[in-house]
Structure 1
Amino acid sequence: MRLEPEETKAIITRLKRANGHLASVIRMLEEGSECEDALTQLAAVNKAISRGGYALVATGLEKCLTEGGPDTVDTKKMEKLFLALA
């Protein structure tokens, strides 16, 4: 399924922010920052990316339900997508 740009705008914004945050973590490591500080920031990046993934799956599921109804949702496929993020 393809999502329209307006459906993914918030997700893209979230992932771009995480991308910038990841660049900051890399810079911290290159500059010799404390491991604990870098790991704390890396955990935040990881959480932001995960939330982006879940938002993408949820947006796709919502579109499936809206356009085709509950009978059009492939529950095995949805389960696989959610588990891929776990």
Structure 2
Amino acid sequence: MTDKFTKEIVRMRKIEGQARGIAKMMEDDRYCIDILQQFSAMEAALRSTKMKILEIHTNHCVEEALTSGSKADQKEKIAELVNLFGKMGK
């Protein structure tokens, strides 16, 4: 496990538990609104974790490319971000 992702890996394990909890709620035929509220909580946790990973990427990979002086690396990292934001917007 890399140090830069330690907290996010822990968070993903919690989200994994949330998903199992939602499945159990469905198996137990729990009230739909309660299930949907748990989905909202899990989605919020995923969004938060996703944004943290984006921050890590920007502060490590993108920054490294920008300071490297390599135009090819810089263009590649910028293209990756543009592509990612395009997918996130859908």
Which residue in 1 is equivalent to 2:32? 35
Unaligned runs of 5+ in 2: none
Alignment length, in residue pairs?
A: 83
Unaligned runs of 5+ in 1: none
TM-score with structure 2 length normalisation? 0.76
> With CA pairs under 8 Å and 6+ residues apart, which has the higher RCO, 1 or 2?
1
What does the per-residue CA deviation read over 1:16-75, in whole Å, with 9 as the maximum and x for residues that have no partner? 111101111110110011000000001111111122222112201110244343663622
Q: Which residue of 1 aligns with 2:51?
A: 54
TM-score (norm 1): 0.79
Indicate the SS of the match to 1:58: helix
Q: CA deviation at 1:82?
A: 3.3
RMSD of aligned Cα (Å) = 2.1
Where does residue 64 of structure 2 map in the other structure? 67
> Letter of the aligned partner of 2:87 in structure 1?
A
Between the aligned residues of both structures, percent identity stands at 18
In 2, the alpha carbon distance for the partners of 1:83 and 1:49 equals 18
Maintained 8 Å contact 1:54/1:82: no
* Greater Rg over alpha carbons, structure: 2
State the distance in 2 between where 1:82 and 1:15 align: 22
1:45 aligns with 2:42: yes
